[in-house]
Structure formats: C-alpha cells, structure tokens
Amino acid sequence: MLHQRIETELAAAAAEGLTRRVTDLRFTGAVTARDRQGREYLVFSSNNYLGLTFDPRVRRAAAAAAEAFGSGSTGARLTTGGVMEASDLEQELAAFKHGEAALLFNTGYMTNLGVLYGLARPGDLIFSDELNHASIIDGCRISRATVVVYRHGDAADLEAKLQAHPAPPGAVRFLVTDGVFSMDGDVCDLPALVRLKEAYGCLLLVDDAHAVGVLGRDGAGTASYWDLPGAIDLQVGTLSKSLASVGGYVVARRKIIDYLKNKSRPFIFSTFPSPADTAAAREALRILRTEGETLLGRLRRNTARIRQGLSDAGIPVLPGDTPIVPVMVGAADRATALDFRLREEGILLSAIRPPTVAPGASRLRLTVTAAHTEAQLDFVLDRLAAAWRQG
C-alpha cells in the first residue's frame, strides 16, 4: 500500500515538473560554490545575507572551538550536552534583541516547534498569517491549539477574526507572523500587530529568521526596523542565516524562557549543536554588533542595485526593500526552465513552485548578500534578462 502510494505521488509530481532534488554543493567562498562535476556557480539563493560564513574570524572561531572542546556536544543541554558558551550566546542574543532572556534550540525550525508546542495548548487560539513559514505551521499543528489563518498582512481581516474568535475562559490567544516573509520578501506590519495584540490581549510571536542581519539600522530585526523595541513578546530567530552557523533561538521574558527549559520537548529531547556552531554564531553576532553598519550598508546597496536593474529590464518583481527578491514567473514549468538555463550559465537561484507557493505564483527567488560584488550583480542581471527575453 505504502509503496503504491509513494509511486503515485512521485509520478504525479514528476509529471508536473515538481520533483524536488538535492544539489550537492561545496562552497568555495561566501557566494561561490562548486558541484560534484566541478562546475562553478555564483550563488544567488543562500541566506548568508552578510557573507559571514567565509569571514576568516568566524571560521577561525569555529575551528578553535572544535579543537578545544570537541567535535560534538554529546547530548541535550539538560543532560551532559554542555556547550558552556551557549549561555553566553543566549545573553548576547537577548541583549541584541532588547529582551530579558533567550533560549537556544537546534535549528530555527525546531525553535518554532519548541515555542508553539511549549506554550500553546488545546483550547488556546493561534492567529497565523497565511504566508507564515512551514515551521510555524507545524508548530501550530503539534500544539493542538485552534489555528485561525488570516489573510497575508491584512490587519482588518485579522481584527475581524479576533472578534469572531474570543478567548474561551483560561485560554491564551497568540498572534504569529514572519518578520520578513521568506517567499515574498515583504516585512510584517508590526505597528498594526502590536495595536491588535494590545487591544485584544494576545501574545505576539515574530519569526525574525530573515530579519536579523537585514532589518533595522543595527540589523536587530523587525522590532528595530519599526522602532518598537520590547513590543514583541516572543522573538524567534535562527543562527543559520545572517549569523553564519546553525541553530535557533527565542528571546522573551525570563519566566517564559524558564518555562520552556522545563516544558519544551524539542529543547529537552534533542542533542545540542556542536561547540563549533555556537562559537561561529557568537563571532558572527559580535561582527554584526560592531561592524553592522558597514555590512548592512553593503547589503542595502546590493539589494537596491538588483531591484533597480530588474525593474529597468522590465522583469516583474514583488516590491519591497529586503534582499529576498521574488521574480514572478507564473507557471511552474517556466520557472523550472529559467532555473535550468541560469544554472547552465553558472548562476544558482531557487525556482519556488507549488506547493511552497500558490499555483500560478511560481517564481525565481533571488537573494542578495553583502558579499556579492557589483560585477557579480551585473552578471546575474544581464543573464537573467537574456533568459527572460528568450521566454
């Protein structure tokens, strides 16, 4: 039975050109990589927004930690999986995000699972933007709270739904949103969400995975961008994007963090990442805090150059000012063909197709980093425009 079902589903995906494949790559620099055949690529699809994965200081910090403290953490933090610097990193993240305390998880994905599963329970209500990341959707599911999905970025729809779904006695209501939406690259309307959370007595969770190292003068994310420090109850983030490592975290009131340490199963029952991961993230965060202005300036100049170039070439792009640049293609097979053609030219970006996005909304998702040179940006603009004209 299972075999048959799998065959049918894989064949259906293949017929629509929607088969997902793993690409084995080895990075040779912050934005360059090589595949198994030795072909070189310029990468326009990574989340390495500040290019810090190849910063010599970050690499040295990771190597030194592995050398000094071993290759793995050997367990969960509540058992013997001690990485002493993890607590230091938590304090540094909490300070950076203007919160009381932080808790690290193994990935950003696990953080959303751990926070939503840890805090929300059956009877509670979670109001969730329809374009939220899969890890939020899955966290909502395993919490078994009632999930109310509101239209993307639509505060009026959210308010109508808050009115239609009052909290039962003893229940908690959560508002949950991406800070920067991972597929559209737009920024959530934090002032509207804060107004609603206060008016309706909700707890607000913002996932800053694509916002840290991107938004705000200091790169601290959504609250910084909107100049509303302290307004978000639960600031989720990842160490895997701008912070050049792997891991996830939540910043919140100390009581909430203490509670999660005691109750959040993804925190309790999974081995913590390695000392090298923690050391790399700490060094990346240190660089963001001390050299953020330079790095963010470069990221913003590069983002503006690509967005302007695409617009000049008449290529439709979703508006916004983040380095996630969605080139709207429409049909899934055309997105696949463009992706393929650009690969031939040595450019890697992601064709995003259903079910990740709605049918007819397939796109090439181009991400810009601070590490791209102007020549590299102009090269991708030139090649993309040529591929676009050819159909």
Ligand X SMILES: *Cc1c(COP(=O)(O)O)cnc(C)c1O
The alpha carbon dihedral of 378, 383, 386, 391 has a sign of: negative
Which of 51, 108, 118, 326 lies at the binding interface for ligand X (CB under 6 A)?
A: 108
Q: Which of residues 111-130 bind ligand X (CB under 6 A)?
A: 112
CA distances from 17 to 12, 21, 190, 209 (A): 9, 11, 37, 29
**Nearest CB to ligand X, comparing residues 179 and 309:** 179
Cross-strand partners of 324: 367
Q: Is 303 among the residues that bind ligand X (CB under 6 A)?
A: no
Site string for ligand X, 49-68 (x = CB under 6 A): --------------------
Q: Is 245 among the residues that bind ligand X (CB under 6 A)?
A: no
Site string for ligand X, 2-41 (x = CB under 6 A): ----------------------------------------
Stretch binding ligand X (CB under 6 A), from 14-22, 103-111, 221-229, 366-374: 103-111
Which of 53, 73, 107, 376 lies at the binding interface for ligand X (CB under 6 A)?
A: 107
Q: Is 365 among the residues that bind ligand X (CB under 6 A)?
A: no
Q: Which of residues 199-228 bind ligand X (CB under 6 A)?
A: 207, 209-210
DSSP state at residue 122 = B
Contact 89, 233 (CB under 8 A): no
Contact 210, 322 (CB under 8 A): yes
Q: Shortest gap between Cβ of 171 and ligand X (angstroms)? A: 25
Q: Is 177 among the residues that bind ligand X (CB under 6 A)?
A: no
**Nearest CB to ligand X, comparing residues 249 and 388:** 249
**Nearest CB to ligand X, comparing residues 197 and 210:** 210
Q: Omega into 316 within 30° of 0, i.e. cis?
A: no
Buried b (16+ CB within 10 A) or exposed e, 31-62: bbbeeeeeeebbbbbbbbbbbbbbbeebbebb
Q: Shortest gap between Cβ of 282 and ligand X (angstroms)? A: 16
Measured from the Cβ of residue 172, the count of other Cβ atoms closer than 10 Å reads 16
> Any idea which residues carry the catalytic annotation?
182, 210, 241
User: How far, in Å, CA of 162 to CA of 40, rounded?
Assistant: 51
User: How far, in Å, CA of 202 to CA of 252, rounded?
Assistant: 15
Binding site for ligand X (CB under 6 A): 107-109, 112, 133, 135, 178, 182, 207, 209-210, 238, 240, 248
